[in-house]
Amino acid sequence: MTLQVIGGKWKPLILHFLLHEGPKRYSEILRYLESAPKKTLTEQLRQLEADGVVAREVSPTIPIRVTYSMTAHGETLAPLLDVMCAWGFVNMDGRYEVTHPTCEDSPASLAKKQQRLANLSAYLEVE
């Protein structure tokens, strides 16, 4: 069930962005993801909305303004997404280059992520 909701190349990134940055317009999400195809982004946003983790709000303005945000149900994914993010940073081992402008890979940031992973692992009793 969990992977059906968050599985996909872009879904975890969409969810992480909305959780930490708040409600965003489609164009802001597209800009954040940089290389995501528009069609795929649209499909994944629709799936997340259908699963009840993302809300789509249409404002009756000219032009129409569409905003995406996390639902209360979607916010329950925060601990899982934080563990996934922390694990990724801690286990990169120099194999991957962090190129996204929102990714900070300084030694202080890595230490903070390692501590967060340890705290979350203890909380979730991950072995």
Q: Do residues 6 and 67 both lie within one domain? A: yes
Query: Average pLDDT, stretch 14-35?
Result: 92
CATH, residue 28:
1.10.10.10
Q: Which domain holds residue 113?
A: 78-124
pLDDT above 70 as % of the chain: 73
Query: pLDDT tens digits, residue range 53-98?
Result: 999 999 988 888 999 999 999 999 988 888 887 777 777 766 655 5
Q: Do residues 39 and 93 both lie within one domain? A: no
Q: Do residues 50 and 12 both lie within one domain? A: yes
Distance between CA atoms of residues 61 and 18, nearest Å: 23
Q: Do residues 46 and 92 both lie within one domain? A: no
Query: Average pLDDT, stretch 99-118?
Result: 61
Helix (H) or strand (E) holding 57: strand 54-59
**What global pTM score does this model have?**
0.74
Distance between CA atoms of residues 98 and 96, nearest Å: 6
Work out the number of other CB atoms within 10 angstroms of the CB of residue 13.
19
Q: Tell me the torsion sign for CA atoms 120, 51, 8, 23.
A: negative
